[in-house]
């Protein structure tokens, strides 16, 4: 039976110093890595440790939170149904000049989730097939969930969004 | 007046406004624009327990071109605002708008980048209904308010 601690140990053993940070909170383990190592780590988790499912993908803005060296993190929540164990991989993104490799070809769901992170935090994903806003409208300027986005700034949309009209063709 | 001697059938004299408004107010055709939990409450409004058909407004149309009462029920996002405007514009005159619940009337607790702070930023509203969501009686009360408003209108003022 593999536990989260075992997974963290295996990842650290395999990637050594490329794991920037490893910690656990209430039995939930996570590792932080650099964007360039992301695909390698996720493929290792998927193929070797049997994390076949990307359960969630989310962004975090740590502006003014503490003295960490990077501003953003992208969190990949993994689930292994075979071993019944979960694990989190965090990618440290210094600022919005740094982009993260897309994993949409490994898990198709990453397509829309990466668009959401782009929309809300402005974190760019390399090799994404369609990196457009997914929640905010097309005329929206800035990224709404960034800590420096003014909480009362509203942006009006002048005409029905093209993206609403083309949803069907995109799904087809 | 001696008019009776000239007509063979009984008749009733009234004002044009009166008779047109009487017809309009007892046959409102609602178009539901339901985007949130208020729309679920609206199911109660039109169903047998509360039964808005007692007031002649039960025939829900899903095309704005066949409706004269727009029921906006729920949160309206900035992305959706032009769609709501377009639907309102597609409704033929005369038309009335009922804003149901806190979100449609004021944005509710969604005081943020994504939500329109009241649909009156986009379209004119006749009656606001308080509540989150409002009780069905409350919505029926608002329909009655609109009926009273229709009663006071100059029928010829509409196109």
CB contact under 8 A, B82 and A157: yes
Would you tell me which residues 23-62 of chain B have a C-beta closer than 8 angstroms to some C-beta of chain A? none
> Would you call B66 helix, strand, or coil by DSSP?
helix
pLDDT at A172: 43
How close, in Å, is residue A104 to chain B by CA atoms? 26
The rounded distance, in Å, linking the Cα atoms of B2 and A92 is 95
A136 close to B (CB below 8 A)? yes
Measure CB to CB from residue B113 to each of A153, A161, A164 and give the nearest one: A153
Measure CB to CB from residue A157 to each of B78, B111, B113 and give the nearest one: B78
Report which of residues B93 and A53 the model is more confident about.
Answer: A53
The pLDDT of residue B133 is above 60: yes
E strand or H helix that includes residue B143: helix B136-152
Structural domains of chain B, ranges and CATH numbers in brackets? 22-154 (3.40.50.12280)
| A51-79 average pLDDT score | 93
User: ∠A116-A120-A122 over CA atoms, to 5°?
Assistant: 100
The predicted-structure confidence for B99-115, as pLDDT tens digits, reads as follows: 999 999 999 899 989 99
The rounded distance, in Å, linking the Cα atoms of B89 and B97 is 12
The predicted-structure confidence for B33-53, as pLDDT tens digits, reads as follows: 999 999 999 999 999 999 999
Cα-Cα-Cα-Cα dihedral sign, residues B47, B52, B53, B57? negative
CB contact under 8 A, B83 and A158: no
The rounded distance, in Å, linking the Cα atoms of A152 and A155 is 10
The pLDDT of residue A93 is above 50: yes
A149 close to B (CB below 8 A)? yes
The predicted-structure confidence for A141-167, as pLDDT tens digits, reads as follows: 999 999 999 988 888 888 876 655 555
**Pick from A123, A76, A115: which is nearest to A99 by CA?**
A123
Structural domains of chain A, ranges and CATH numbers in brackets? 4-171 (3.30.460.80)
pLDDT at A166: 54
Provide, as residue numbers in chain B, all residues whose Cβ is less than 8 Å from the Cβ of A137.
78-79
């Amino acid at each position: 039976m593999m536990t989260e601690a075992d997974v963290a140990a295996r990842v650290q053993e395999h990637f050594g110093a490329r794991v920037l940070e490893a910690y656990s909170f209430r039995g939930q383990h996570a590792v932080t890595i650099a964007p360039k190592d992301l695909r390698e780590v996720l493929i290792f988790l998927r193929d070797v440790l049997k994390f076949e499912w990307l359960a969630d993908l989310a962004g975090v803005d740590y502006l003014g939170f503490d003295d960490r060296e990077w501003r953003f993190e992208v969190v990949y929540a993994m689930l292994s149904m075979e071993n019944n164990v979960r694990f989190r991989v965090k990618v440290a993104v210094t600022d919005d000049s740094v982009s993260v490799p897309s994993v949409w070809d490994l898990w198709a769901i990453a397509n829309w989730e990466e668009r959401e992170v782009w929309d809300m935090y402005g974190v760019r994903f390399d090799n994404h097939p369609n990196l457009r806003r997914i929640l905010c409208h097309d005329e929206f300027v800035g990224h709404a969930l960034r800590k420096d986005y003014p909480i009362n700034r509203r942006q009006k949309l002048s005409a029905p969004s093209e993206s609403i009209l083309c949803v069907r063709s995109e799904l087809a | 007046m001696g008019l009776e001697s000239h007509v063979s059938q009984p008749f009733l004299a009234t004002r044009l406004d009166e008779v047109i408004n009487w017809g309009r107010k007892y046959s409102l055709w609602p178009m539901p624009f339901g985007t949130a939990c208020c729309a679920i409450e609206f199911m109660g409004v039109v169903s047998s327990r509360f039964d808005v058909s007692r007031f002649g407004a039960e025939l829900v149309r899903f095309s704005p071109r066949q409706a004269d009462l727009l029921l906006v029920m729920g949160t309206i996002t900035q992305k959706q605002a032009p769609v709501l405007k377009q639907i309102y514009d597609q409704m033929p005159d005369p038309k009335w708008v009922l804003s149901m619940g806190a979100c449609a009337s004021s944005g509710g607790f969604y005081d943020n980048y994504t939500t329109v702070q009241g649909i009156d930023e986009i379209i004119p509203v006749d009656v606001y209904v308080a509540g989150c969501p409002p009780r069905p009686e409350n919505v029926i009360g608002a329909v009655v308010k609109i009926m009273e408003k229709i009663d006071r209108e100059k029928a010829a003022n509409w196109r």
